Amino acid sequence: MQLSFPTSRPRRLRANKLVRDAVAETSLSPDDFIMPIFVKDGAGKEPIDSMPGYFRWPVDGSLVEHVEEALSLGVNKFILFGVLPDDVKDPEGKASYDPQGVVPRAIRLLKETFGDRVLLFADVCLCEYTDHGHCGVVVRDGRGWRIDNDRTISIYAKEAVVYADAGADFVAPSGMMDGQVRAIRQALDAAGYQDVGIMAYSAKYASAFYGPFRVAASSAPKFGDRRTYQMDPRNSREAVKEVMLDIEEGADIVMVKPALAYLDVVRLVKDWFPWVPLAAYSVSGEYSMIKAAAKMGYLDERLVALEALFAIKRAGADLILTYYALDAARWLREGT
Ligand code: PBG
Ligand code: ZN
């Protein structure tokens, strides 16, 4: 093999768009995307200050139209997050398993309207539903506070069954409690929902990139932080353990979150578990950073957003949760 100049000229394979496309190692399509949707009570869509171009949607015809638009662009997978007013929150997040809550109502509306044309994921956590904003039940003791892991996962199990009842295709536990996937799998099976899948937020880091989401979902912790349950950003080998445990507990799809700052983790997990579908969550901070820089004129939004999505795919993600799903689908249609 002659690898050196002048015989070898790598630039031949970059000479024009057709040859570049011919040798491209990575492809991106709307099929790869899962689009987050925030749903809320009351009429009218609300802009989210921390996420320009993103909205909280009411459970009515406007949500149906929004999803219709996504479908017309080939985006057919959605993950739903409920946004609640403070006065319905309590220490245990009981509203999370209310069958009349916004998320179950949104699932029913979208499934009645679109049936199998949409794949619906429901985020399972308590932070949108607890008055303190933590992802689990808080217990106070002499030394401060801690999260009651096992009580929390029994509530996640109820929440997951409510979403399955409503028609969710997948539930997606995001609270990083130990044993949450097993508890949910057992509860779903006991309720007859063997066919409802679990997409586990397996390696979810204690990340400051979630800032804009917490404004969007009013789910920021009122005290302390999430470091006793979410992973330490300094660790990657630990992600292999977390993913392995979730696979053993019954996860159908595993996830690394955030995406851009954790592409080494995406690659590591893909290499360790190549047979398991892997999702990467390009989080709110990744979206809002690009939006802000583009607004300032520092970056080209379209080029940067697509480059980031290709990078996440290249690192090994099979699915990407992204707030750019609609824009990216449009841009891909126009041609890269
Ligand atoms: C709730 C949840 C969070 C995100 C998804 N599910 C926030 C958090 O853990 O504080 C973050 C998503 C994003 O930033 O886009 N457990
Ligand atoms: Zn949470």
**ipTM of the complex as predicted:** 0.96
Does 253 contact ligand 1 (Cβ within 6 A)?
A: no
Does 125 contact ligand 1 (Cβ within 6 A)?
A: yes
Percent of the chain with pLDDT strictly greater than 90: 97
Q: Does the annotation count 257 as an active-site position?
A: yes
Q: How far is CA 277 from CA 76, 99, 147, 274, in A?
A: 17, 30, 30, 8
Which listed residue (77, 89, 257, 291) is catalytic? 257
Alpha-helical (H) ranges within 101-140 are 102-114
**pLDDT score, position 2:** 67
- Average pLDDT for residues 251-259, to the nearest whole number? 98
The angle, 0 to 180 degrees and rounded to 10, between the axes of the packed helices 102-114 and 61-72 is 50
Whether 259 contacts 282, CB under 8 Å: yes
Q: What is the 130 CA–ligand 2 centroid distance (Å)?
A: 9
- Which ligand is closest in space to the CA of residue 82? 1
Q: Residue 247 phi/psi, 5° resolution? A: -65, -45
Cis peptide before 30 (omega within 30 of 0): no
Residue with structure tokens 């937020």?
A: 201
**pLDDT score, position 1:** 66
Q: What is the 214 CA–ligand 2 centroid distance (Å)?
A: 10
Q: Does the annotation count 17 as an active-site position?
A: no
Q: How many CB atoms lie within 10 A of CB 147?
A: 20
Amino acid at 22: A
Amino acid at 232: D
333 vs 336: CA distance, rounded Å? 8
Radius of gyration of the chain (CA): 21
**pLDDT score, position 3:** 85
What would the pLDDT profile of 2-43 be if each residue is shown by its tens digit? 689 999 999 999 999 999 999 999 999 999 999 999 999 999
283 vs 54: CA distance, rounded Å? 13
**pLDDT score, position 304:** 98
Which listed residue (40, 77, 204, 313) is catalytic? 204
184 vs 292: CA distance, rounded Å? 38
Question: Is 3.40.50.11900 the CATH number for 28-334?
Answer: no
Q: What is the 330 CA–ligand 2 centroid distance (Å)?
A: 31
Under DSSP, the state recorded for 231 is: B
Does 51 contact ligand 1 (Cβ within 6 A)?
A: no
Q: Is the pLDDT of residue 336 over 80?
A: no
